[in-house]
Amino acid sequence: MTLVDRHWRSRAIFSSLLVLLLCAAANVFAQAAPPVALHLTGDVPNHLDLTLADIAAFPRQTIHVTDEKGTPVEYSGVPVAEILQKAGAPLGKELKGPKMAVAVIARAADGYHVLFSLAEFDPDFSDRIILLADRRDGKPLDNHEGPLRFVVPGDKRHARWIHGVTMLEVVP
């Protein structure tokens, strides 16, 4: 084997090892990264991909409501306004004029979706707090309800209490 052959063979082995190492590192990183629980997209400056840990880091609130079966329950989670604010949705004094027609579509993993006016989430417009809940009576939501669900106090029917929420889309 000539010196040139040995050089190219060494380079080929090194390149193969480097590719294997990079693939292994990418696989480890992919396994270690927590899954995204909520995507926030649409007409906002900052699109968000939030894990359950990201959501748990927001300011939290607990509310007492009656569930669809008439049972008093306690839900804990994040006011949706907090997440919308982080995405840069127009809230507070910015929510006026044409922006009053901005809507939020909450989408669930099973395809169910619900439309809300952006103003419904804004504390300047209502004292009602729409919650993105991750806990019921102090425990994580079960597979039927969770891992995330909307709780909309004051709604007589719970059709907008969407469970399995995976995406919020802000639309003009």
pLDDT for 161: 96
What local confidence, expressed as pLDDT, does residue 124 receive?
94
Residues 125-161: pLDDT tens digits?
Answer: 999 999 999 999 999 999 989 999 999 999 989 999 9
pLDDT given at position 68: 87
Query: In this predicted structure, what is the pLDDT of residue 6?
Result: 63
Q: What is the pLDDT of residue 12?
A: 59
The pLDDT score that the predictor gives to residue 33 is 78
Give the residues of the chain that fall short of pLDDT 50: none
Sheet holding 113-117, edge to edge: 48-50, 38-42, 165-171, 103-108, 113-117
Q: Residue 42: its pLDDT value, please?
A: 96
Among 124, 141, 119, 148, residue whose Cα is nearest residue 50? 148
